[in-house]
Amino acid sequence: MRYTHLFFDLDNTLWDFNANSYDALYLALKKLDLLDKIGSFESYFPIYHEVNERLWDLYRDNKITKNVLRGLRFEESLELNHTPIPGIGDILNEVYLTEMPKQLRLVPGAIKVLDYLHHKYKMAIITNGFKEVQVEKLFQTGLTKYFDKVFISEEVGAQKPHSKIFEHAVKSMNAPKKKSLMIGDSWDADIVGGQLFGMDQVYYCPNPDKLPLTEDLRSANFPKTTTTIINHLEQLLEML
């Protein structure tokens, strides 16, 4: 076989982060009796999502800390929603993170693909998420049984796309780099990270509008690797 080891991202590659985040935040606001105060949740959530993505980019670049990110995303998004609630950031974050692992929606095809692959390959997770949440997500959804190890950026001390987390994962799994494959939905974290490290990658991109421009696919300075683009997880079965 061309590959012996498969490394999966978790959020929006297997666990449907977008859908589950929507539900978890709605439940958190409801539990804190804040739904009426924010007006339309459907209008607020896209604001929160954009703020959260921007702050996560800063967190990945080590420009803000985990503790700052967790509360600030709610404070800033509520300000932009014109419904500021002083002092609510950390409280809302705590309830939101409690609700997150309880949401069980997976990306279409995830179980079918994992059922097939885990008998044929050694498999692991490489994720940038928070340890306490990511581990619980895997447990609650029953995904834990498919993976030999879980590598979380917080524990490793480096986030994707930094090569350190890929190197740590490969060495811990005794995986030959050239027989390892990174599978993820984030171009900047999963694909560029795999390219920088010298590992082949699969870019799971269900939305064709998010495909990178051809000239952006790989820097000339990166090691030579193969990048495959799929728009449904079950396409992995065709190549593996």
- CA R_g for the chain: 18
CA angle 187, 15, 27 (to 5 degrees): 115
> What element of type H or E holds 211?
none
List phi, psi (to 5°) of 229.
Answer: -110, 130
Burial class (CB in 10 A: 0-12, 13-18, 19+), 6: buried
Helices 41-60 and 66-80, axial angle in degrees (round to 10): 150
Active site (annotated) includes residue 9? yes
CB atoms < 10 A from the CB of 74, how many? 24
C-alpha 185: how far from its chain's center? 8
List the catalytic residue out of 11, 16, 185, 200. 11
List the catalytic residue out of 9, 16, 185, 190. 9
Q: Please tell me whether residue 163 adopts helix, strand or coil conformation.
A: helix
In the structure encoding, which two tokens stand for residue 88, read together?
A: 């609510």
Beta bridge partners of 96: none
Distance CA 147, CA 109 (A): 17
- Cβ–Cβ under 8 Å, residues 108 and 232: yes
Active site (annotated) includes residue 36? no
Q: Which residues are catalytic?
A: 9, 11
